[in-house]
Amino acid sequence: MSPAASPGTSPATGPATGKEPVAVVGIGQTKHVAARRDVSIAGLVREAARRALDDAELTWADIDAVVIGKAPDFFEGVMMPELYLADALGAVGKPMLRVHTAGSVGGSTALVATNLIAGRVHGTVLTLAYEKQSESNAMWGLSLPIPFQQPLLAGAGGFFAPHVRAYMRRTGAPDTVGSLVAYKDRRNALKNPYAHLHEHDITLEKVQASPMLWDPIRYSETCPSSDGACAMVLTDRAGAARSPRPAAWMHGGAMRSEPTLFAGKDFVSPQAGKDCAADVYRQAGIADPRRDIDAVEMYVPFSWYEPMWLENLGFADEGEGWKLTESGVTELDGDLPVNMSGGVLSTNPIGASGMIRFAEAALQVRGQAGEHQVDGARRVLGHAYGGGSQFFSMWLVGAAPPTS
Amino acid sequence: MPAPRSAPRPLRDIAVVAFAQTDHRRTSDELSEVEMLMPVLHQVLAQTGLRTSDIGFTCSGSTDYLAGRAFSFTMALDGVGAWPPISESHVEMDGAWALYEAWTKLLTGDADTALVYAYGKSSPGSVRDVLTRQLDPYYVAPLWPDSVALAALQAQALIDAGDTDEPALAAVATRSRAAATDNSHAQLRGSVPHGEYAVRPLRTGDCPPIGDGAAAVILAAGERARELCERPAWIRGIDHRIEAHGLGVRDLTDSPSARLAAERAGAFERPVDTAELHAPFSSQEVVLRKALRLGDDVDVNPSGGALAAHPIMAAGLIRIGEAAARIGRGDSDRALAHATSGPCLQQNLVAVLEGDPR
């Protein structure tokens, strides 16, 4: 490591006051597909990492540490795969951390990496999340029976469908809202070259005519199983100054957890999600998220979670989220675009899905989102959740550096 | 390995202020992971008088592969009392790395206290088989080379290099288990037969016991640490490094990652009086003593170390806890704590802990 790689820890900068600002200067992802039979797990992650480094115009030698995340090891059948992946990610001789917070892991992984910079432990960090679902079967990986514990009942859909039903009953939302979300996200995905599902002939009628899987969730309202990886290069203020392309600056980031199952839990709008968003908004100085935030990449594995999270994240009052969706506010050209990339509904390498949300938020404020760019996106929220709506991680990134 | 710069000075003083662990046992069939963990969480909180709601950040370490189910840690979190919701994270690594994540969180100033816990129940399965799943999934794991066989390769390399011999390894095991006589939590204590060969040149006595257990630590920053603890164990430096996975590209008689982590943690700036090493096999203590430049005057593994108790995923965190507890008792002023992960010491973490001058 050269001293220049970690200016935050060099004695020349003197005593630190407050957190070091954190910038995203490199983003890379793979073209997400159902099965990447042409590469190993190592080949998959290296492809995304290489693209992130190229975007930042940095080399492996510029990276001080690697923070990697993925969802359960059982999805590929490799225990603690960071050990095997150390070589592929240029981590030999460096610190390497492996985060695992269920479906929120992609977001949490990025946040753990930001702490290394914000706490001035390192100057430039590579963070990456992946899933290669074709190596196994995630549905049954989630359904291993354990005595005395609630099984997930044939994958995630069986667990989440009753909570969607509860949302519909509570808010009186018409049963057409879910299909609107799926139709929107799948159309957005057509503008994202990395998205898994490119359904060129998608129509609203096709979504509505798709088979019912877990009532009220239809086949076309569920996420696919994807192979894919997403990587980001995070750096400090000095690193950002050297960046060849615009940086995305982190203005706030937080994680919150609550128990999976207990009598007082609100599965429709978990308190941990509300608290997590409130913490991020406080850090970022967001008074009114509906007005102050330009776009949102949120974790929507089943279509109905868009209106549910719009309420949970404070973009709509309780019971009103579905009205935003129905009125077109969340369309790509709407007033509050949601899941410009096509979202988890179009691309779901589970462990990477949270980081893709975070990375898409950063792409937007860097003005690098291509065909699915939202004009003038200055502040964008990235959101992830996991477990039985138990774990939440979010960050808000901006085009300008934080002022405090 | 890149040339290290001098160790960075942490931005805040952060200390271990409490430590608790289970009695580690060969089996714990009657307990769920949560039931095994909860007494430890209560003990460590009671030591400081803190409640869950007082804790700024919580981080845990465990592995799904021991539990045999995906997302096993989500149920363990229920035992923490995560309501109202808490700021929390998890590493699929030994709890020593969870402590590292918590340390970085405290450095940012976003929290002043952290609860770190780790647990592992090895008894339900065959650890030797389970750990083969850590290996390269395409080229190595299909051959099922087990953890004892890989450690034996390393031990034989050491013997071939003239770094040790079988009687010296036996002495490491005897010393460790004798030291554990005073450790009521240890699983193997006192005079333990050196046994038959497990995989030549390692005998059963050179190998760790298979057992279940949990541990928890509380960290606090600055003045908060002094309020919570009479003699905090200040983390003067902590660093971890990983090496290549393939055993064929590593010198198994050396541990450059442990040496680099120690250097970055400031371990070589002044001598330590105590070292708690996570060396599950007697031969690995030989490697680590050399890499970490530990002389005969250093008290190595006064707890008995991993040869006396080895709850996988907690054993590294226990090393930090034991070193901190020793400082807290006034038995040490400057201690090195070490954790490892992966086959043949692939990944290593070193923390340097100090008590206030007396």
Region B190-215 average pLDDT: 97
Per-residue pLDDT for A8 more than 60? Answer: no
Cα separation, B252 vs B269, in Å, equals 26
The mean predicted confidence, pLDDT, of chain B is 95
Question: Which residue from B67, B107, B245 is facing A87, i.e. has the nearest CB?
Answer: B245
Burial class (CB in 10 A: 0-12, 13-18, 19+), B193: exposed
CB contacts, 8 Å: B257 with chain A = 93
When comparing pLDDT for A8 and A184, which is higher?
Answer: A184
Cα separation, B307 vs B19, in Å, equals 20
pLDDT (0 to 100) of residue B6: 45
Q: How do residues A83-128 score in pLDDT, each as one tens digit?
A: 999 999 999 999 999 999 999 999 999 999 999 999 999 999 999 9
pLDDT (0 to 100) of residue A65: 98
Cα separation, A306 vs A318, in Å, equals 13
Region A261-284 average pLDDT: 96
Per-residue pLDDT for A151 more than 90? Answer: no
Instruction: Indicate yes or no: CB of B109 within 8 angstroms of CB of A19.
Output: yes
Q: How far away is chain B from the Cα of A380, in angstroms, using its nearest Cα? A: 22
| H or E element that contains B74 | helix B72-78
Per-residue pLDDT for A163 more than 50? Answer: yes
pLDDT (0 to 100) of residue A274: 98
CB contacts, 8 Å: B256 with chain A = 93
Instruction: Indicate yes or no: CB of B101 within 8 angstroms of CB of A276.
Output: no
The residues with which B86 forms a beta bridge, in sequence order, are: A257
Cβ neighbors of B57 (< 8 A, separation 6 or more) are: B87, B88, B89, B102, B105, B106, B110, B111, B113, B114, B115
Region A28-35 average pLDDT: 98
Cα separation, A178 vs A175, in Å, equals 7
Q: How do residues A127-136 score in pLDDT, each as one tens digit?
A: 999 999 999 8
Q: How do residues B111-168 score in pLDDT, each as one tens digit?
A: 999 999 999 999 999 999 999 999 999 999 999 999 999 999 999 999 999 999 999 9
Per-residue pLDDT for A13 more than 90? Answer: no
CA A250 to chain centre: 14
**Of A153-162, A175-184, A385-394, B116-125, which range is least confident?**
A153-162
Instruction: Indicate yes or no: CB of B241 within 8 angstroms of CB of A256.
Output: no
Distance in angstroms between the alpha carbons of the first and the last residue of chain A: 30
- In chain B, the percentage of residues whose pLDDT exceeds 70 is 97
Q: Which of residues 20-59 of A touch B (CB under 8 A)?
A: 40-41
Cα separation, A350 vs A359, in Å, equals 15
Per-residue pLDDT for B44 more than 50? Answer: yes
Distance in angstroms between the alpha carbons of the first and the last residue of chain B: 38
Query: Is the distance from CB of B72 to CB of B33 less than 8 angstroms?
Result: yes
The confidence band for B70, taking pLDDT boundaries of 50, 70 and 90, is confident
Instruction: Indicate yes or no: CB of A144 within 8 angstroms of CB of B70.
Output: yes
pLDDT (0 to 100) of residue A386: 93
The confidence band for A145, taking pLDDT boundaries of 50, 70 and 90, is low
Q: How do residues B280-300 score in pLDDT, each as one tens digit?
A: 999 999 999 999 999 999 999
The confidence band for A143, taking pLDDT boundaries of 50, 70 and 90, is low
Nearest Cα neighbor of A71 from A250, A228, A300, A293 is A228
Best mutation target among B62, B69, B254, B346 (most A Cβ atoms within 10 Å) is: B69
Look at the block and give the residue holding tokens 């709509």: A316
Q: How far away is chain B from the Cα of A242, in angstroms, using its nearest Cα? A: 22
Instruction: Confirm or reject contact between B244 and chain A (CB < 8 A).
Output: yes
Cα separation, B298 vs B275, in Å, equals 7
Nearest CA in chain B to A19: B108
Best mutation target among A41, A82, A150, A261 (most B Cβ atoms within 10 Å) is: A82
- ipTM strictly over 0.95? yes
Region A50-56 average pLDDT: 98
Q: How far away is chain A from the Cα of B92, in angstroms, using its nearest Cα? A: 6
Question: Which residue from B74, B242, B243 is facing A102, i.e. has the nearest CB?
Answer: B74
Per-residue pLDDT for B253 more than 50? Answer: yes
Per-residue pLDDT for B36 more than 70? Answer: yes
Q: How far away is chain B from the Cα of A92, in angstroms, using its nearest Cα? A: 5
pLDDT (0 to 100) of residue A5: 36
For residue B201, cis peptide bond before it (omega within 30 degrees of 0) = yes
Region A378-399 average pLDDT: 96
Per-residue pLDDT for B250 more than 50? Answer: yes
Q: How far away is chain B from the Cα of A115, in angstroms, using its nearest Cα? A: 6
- Sequence letter at residue A384: A
Cα separation, A156 vs A301, in Å, equals 9
Region A19-37 average pLDDT: 97
**Of A157-161, A383-387, B164-168, which range is least confident?**
A157-161
- Sequence letter at residue B75: M
Instruction: Indicate yes or no: CB of A121 within 8 angstroms of CB of B2.
Output: no
Cα separation, A367 vs A44, in Å, equals 26
Per-residue pLDDT for A141 more than 80? Answer: no
**Of A205-209, B10-14, B89-93, which range is least confident?**
B10-14
Per-residue pLDDT for A15 more than 80? Answer: no
Instruction: Indicate yes or no: CB of B242 within 8 angstroms of CB of A271.
Output: no
How many H-runs (helices) and E-runs (strands) does chain B carry? Answer: 11, 12
pLDDT (0 to 100) of residue B35: 94
Q: How do residues A57-86 score in pLDDT, each as one tens digit?
A: 999 999 999 999 999 999 999 999 999 999
Cα separation, B98 vs B110, in Å, equals 16
Instruction: Confirm or reject contact between B242 and chain A (CB < 8 A).
Output: yes
pLDDT (0 to 100) of residue A12: 32
Region A271-295 average pLDDT: 98
The confidence band for B108, taking pLDDT boundaries of 50, 70 and 90, is very high
Nearest Cα neighbor of B226 from B8, B15, B5, B1 is B15
Best mutation target among A100, A266, A390 (most B Cβ atoms within 10 Å) is: A100
Instruction: Confirm or reject contact between B241 and chain A (CB < 8 A).
Output: yes
Region B61-79 average pLDDT: 88
Q: How many CB atoms lie within 10 A of CB A54?
A: 13
Cα separation, A90 vs B80, in Å, equals 36
Q: How far away is chain B from the Cα of A183, in angstroms, using its nearest Cα? A: 31
The confidence band for A359, taking pLDDT boundaries of 50, 70 and 90, is very high
pLDDT (0 to 100) of residue B301: 98
Cβ neighbors of A172 (< 8 A, separation 6 or more) are: A319
pLDDT (0 to 100) of residue A156: 78
Instruction: Indicate yes or no: CB of A83 within 8 angstroms of CB of B89.
Output: no
Inter-CA distances, B193 with A360, B189, B324, Å = 59, 11, 30
Burial class (CB in 10 A: 0-12, 13-18, 19+), B249: exposed
Region A179-196 average pLDDT: 98
Q: How do residues A208-262 score in pLDDT, each as one tens digit?
A: 999 999 999 999 999 999 999 999 999 999 999 999 999 999 999 999 999 988 8
Per-residue pLDDT for A149 more than 90? Answer: no
Cβ neighbors of A376 (< 8 A, separation 6 or more) are: A294
Cβ neighbors of A333 (< 8 A, separation 6 or more) are: none
Region A28-45 average pLDDT: 98
Per-residue pLDDT for A276 more than 50? Answer: yes
Instruction: Indicate yes or no: CB of B93 within 8 angstroms of CB of A108.
Output: no
Region B55-76 average pLDDT: 92
The confidence band for B8, taking pLDDT boundaries of 50, 70 and 90, is low
Instruction: Indicate yes or no: CB of B243 within 8 angstroms of CB of A77.
Output: no
The mean predicted confidence, pLDDT, of chain A is 93
Per-residue pLDDT for A292 more than 90? Answer: yes
Instruction: Take residue B260 and report the two structure tokens written for it.
Output: 């680099």
